[in-house]
Structure formats: C-alpha cells, structure tokens
C-alpha cells in the first residue's frame, strides 16, 4: 500500500476561491463514494445474518438433510448440501492445483518464449470466461458428446476451468518474488534445475502459493451456474460424486427460492389457515453457511499470507 503522500503543511491552505471549493467538493465526493459502497455490503451482510442465523444455529442444521421435508415441515438441515459442496470443490481443487502450479512454474522458470506468451494470454482469457460458458463447455464435451449423466463430478470439472487461472496468477506472482540468488546458490552447488525448483523455489514460495490456492477455492465455492447446468438438486444425502443427483449449498438456495410463496392448509377444525413457510429460513440459513465458508477461506488465505517468506 502506497503511503499517502501528505501535502506540505502550507499546501492545505493553498488555493483560493473556486479552486478551494472544487477541492472540497471532490473530497466530499470521494468520501461519499466510499460511503455508497458500504451501503450494499452492510445491508446484505445484515440481512443474511438477521434472517439466516437462527436457522443455522438450530439443532440439526449441520447433521440433517432435507429428505422428505416439504417447505411447510419444520426441521431438517443442510448436511447434504454442505457435503456436496465440499466434495465438488475438493475434487476440483485436487485437479486444479497440480496443473496450475506446474503452469506457473513453466511460466516463471522455463518460459520466456512464444509458447509462454501464448500460455499467459490463454490464462488471461480463462480468467474472463463466464462460469456459464465453462458449464456449457463441460456439457458439450462430457454430457452431449461422451454421453455422461448429470453428476457432481462434471460440476467439479467446470469449476476447474474457473479455479486454474486464479491459482496460476497468484503462484506466478509468488514464484517471481523468490530471489534469484537462491536459485543461483543452488545451481552453484551443482543441484539440477528441477531439484532447485522443488526443494528451493517452491518451499520458499509455499505460503504465497497456499494463499493463492485458498483464494481459488473461495472463488469456486460460491459458483452456481455450473451446478445449475451440470448437476441436479436432491434433498437427500448423496456422497457419490460420480453418479446421481447431488445437493450443494448454492443449489439448495436455488431450490428454496421456488417455495417462497404462501401456502394454505386445513387445521384441525377444517378451517383454511396459512401455514408457516420454512423455505425463507432455509434459504437464508444456506446463504449464511455459504458466506461463512467462503469468508473463512478468505480469512485463512490472509492469515497464511502473513507468514509469507517472500514479500514485495
């Protein structure tokens, strides 16, 4: 962070008339824009906390699924969705991280030619690919061409496309920060290049790379578009990533949106009464759970980043 360069003491009172007014107006506008940006953040976080906290802290939220429950039945939890999200994101991480780190190693340690330039460009393009396009690609390849059925694994594969560029970018930055002297010292000792990378460069940049990986996970954990296209929601627990419908937190939220309308039933006397709708509770509870997971990951990334050995 650049330290704000303070104007000289007399500078503050410099300027007169219109210039001074203009300066004050602009100062006001800059503070105002910051204030405006805070409004949606505070409003959104307050809404989610206010409406979701009691659902999330209720007994069974982390241990029960929504199996057999309609939106007028109390109880149930988000276990099935949390499980699905963790599995899908975990599998995606397993595939993305090795590829992304190898790409970053290639770009920093080996690449300084046309192929590396193309790769850099492609990583940039991949960064900008909309998630729905990634989903359509996986759909076109695995479901339409290879005849696969909707399953969590395809959502994971679509998420790989979104996670790889994030991890490549941060890893690349971190590897560039590793001082050349470490590499040179290693070469001088007769250590081959690959061993230098594995034993010297990567360990030095380890915390930075971890930060990048965690940020990448946080980026894909909240993605919904690939899930909408590639896997179907189920209120049941399905731990099998490779077959069957699978729940996830975003899809659970999406499912509850359908049930927000009022619903009526008959009470014991046969009169028509409005039933309590539990869908909003579940919706905001799932949203809060999702936000907490993502924010926790971001926090971990920041904490790990504190211990970074290399720094710019």
Residues 270-289 that bind other proteins (CB under 8 A): 280, 283-284, 287
Q: Give the nearer residue to other proteins in terms of CB position, either 41 or 268.
A: 41
Q: Would you count residue 62 as binding other proteins (CB under 8 A)?
A: no
Report the site for other proteins in 215-234 (rule: CB under 8 A): 215-216, 218-219, 221-225, 228-229
Q: Which is nearer to other proteins, 106 or 235 (CB)?
A: 106
Nearer residue to other proteins within complex by CB, 147 or 270: 147
152's torsion region: left (phi>0), alpha (psi -120 to 50) or beta? Answer: alpha
Look up tokens 């971990």; give the residue: 300
Mark 131-160 with x for binding to other proteins (rule: CB under 8 A) and - for no binding.
Answer: xxxx-xx-xxx-xxx---------------
Q: Give the interface size with other proteins as a residue count (CB under 8 A).
A: 140
Give the sign of the dihedral formed by CA 251, CA 252, CA 256, CA 257. negative
Residue tagged 């509870």 (tokens): 285
Q: Which residue has the tokens 């190898």?
A: 102
CB of 221 to other proteins, least distance (A): 7
User: Which span sits near other proteins by CB under 8 A: 76-84, 119-127, 237-245, 268-276?
Assistant: 119-127
Residues with Cβ within 8 Å of 239's Cβ and at least 6 positions away in sequence, in order, are 83, 87
84 contacts other proteins (rule: CB under 8 A): no
Binds other proteins (CB under 8 A): choice among 59, 63, 146, 181: 181
| 3-state helix, strand and coil shares in percent for the chain, rounded to the nearest 5 | 70, 0, 30
* 100, 167 Cβ separation under 8 angstroms: yes
Task: Show the binding pattern over residues 2-41: x = contacts other proteins (CB under 8 A), - = does not.
Answer: xxxx-xx--x--xx---xx-xx--xx-xxxxxx-xxx-xx
CA end-to-end distance (rounded Å), the chain = 11
Does residue 238 touch other proteins according to CB under 8 A? Answer: no
Which conformational region is residue 103 in: left (phi greater than 0), alpha (psi within -120 to 50 degrees), or beta? alpha
Least Å distance, CB 272 to other proteins, is: 26
């Amino acid at each position: 962070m650049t330290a704000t360069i303070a104007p000289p003491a007399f500078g503050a009172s410099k300027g007169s008339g219109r210039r001074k007014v203009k300066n004050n107006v602009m100062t006001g506008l800059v503070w105002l824009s910051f204030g405006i940006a805070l409004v949606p953040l505070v409003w959104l976080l307050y809404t989610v906390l206010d409406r979701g906290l009691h659902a999330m802290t209720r007994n069974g939220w982390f241990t029960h699924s929504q199996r057999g429950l309609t939106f007028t039945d109390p109880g149930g939890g988000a276990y099935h969705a949390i499980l699905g999200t963790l599995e899908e994101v975990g599998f995606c991480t397993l595939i993305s991280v090795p590829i992304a780190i190898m790409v970053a190693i290639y770009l920093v340690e080996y690449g300084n030619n046309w192929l590396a330039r193309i790769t850099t460009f492609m990583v940039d393009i991949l960064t900008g690919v909309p998630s729905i396009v990634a989903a359509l690609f996986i759909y076109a390849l695995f479901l339409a061409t290879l005849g696969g059925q909707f399953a969590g694994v395809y959502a994971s594969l679509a998420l790989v496309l979104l996670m790889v560029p994030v991890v490549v970018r941060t890893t690349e930055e971190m590897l560039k920060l590793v001082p050349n002297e470490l590499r040179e010292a290693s070469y001088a000792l007769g250590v081959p290049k690959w061993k230098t990378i594995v034993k010297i460069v990567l360990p030095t940049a380890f915390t930075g790379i971890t930060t990048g990986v965690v940020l990448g996970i946080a980026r894909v954990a909240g993605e919904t578009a690939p899930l909408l296209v590639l896997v179907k929601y189920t209120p049941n627990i399905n731990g099998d990533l490779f077959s069957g419908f699978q729940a996830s937190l975003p899809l659970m939220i999406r499912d509850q949106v359908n049930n927000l309308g009022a619903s009526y039933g008959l009470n014991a006397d046969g009169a028509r009464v409005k039933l309590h709708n539990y869908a909003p509770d579940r919706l905001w509870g799932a949203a809060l759970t999702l936000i907490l997971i993502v924010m926790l990951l971001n926090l971990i990334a920041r904490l790990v980043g504190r211990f970074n050995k290399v720094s710019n």
